[in-house]
Structure 1
Amino acid sequence: MKITVDEAKCCGAGQCVLVAPEVFDQRDEDGIVVLLDTTPPAEQYDASREAAQVCPAAAILIEED
C-alpha cells in the first residue's frame, strides 16, 4: 500500500487522524493533513482505507500493491 494526500483538497476535518493516528496527523497552524507514513505496515491498512473513505474532501489516495 502506498498513500498520498492532496493538501490542496484537505479541509482540515481531522477524520483521518481520528481513524488512523499512526498514519495521519494535522498541522497545528491550519489543520491540514500531515502524512506520517506513505507506506504503512499491514496492520495499518484497514485504518488507512477507512480514513480515505471518511475524508470529506477525498484528499487521501491509496494505491494498493
Structure 2
Amino acid sequence: MTHLTRSLLLPLAATSALLLGACANMSEREKSTAIGAGIGAVTGSVLSGGSPIGTVGGAVVGGVIGNEIKK
C-alpha cells in the first residue's frame, strides 16, 4: 500500500461510518430519496462530462425518482 493510500484510508473509513450512522433514523422513503440522489448525481456527472449543472440535475431527478419509488 502506498503512503497516499494509507493516509486516505482512515479519513475515508471515518467519513463512511459517520454517514451510515446518520441514516439510522431515516425512514425507508428518506433513504430511498438519498440513494436516488446519490446515484443520480454520479450518473449526471458522468453523462455531462463532469458539469456541475449535470451533476445537480442528476441528483434532483434521482432524488425525485427515489422518493416516488417508496410512496
- For normalisation by structure 1, the TM-score amounts to 0.23
Which one has the largest radius of gyration?
Answer: 2
**Larger RCO: Structure 1 or Structure 2 (Cα < 8 Å, ≥ 6 residues apart)?**
1
TM-score (norm 2): 0.22
Task: Compare the two structures and name the one with the higher helix fraction.
Answer: 2
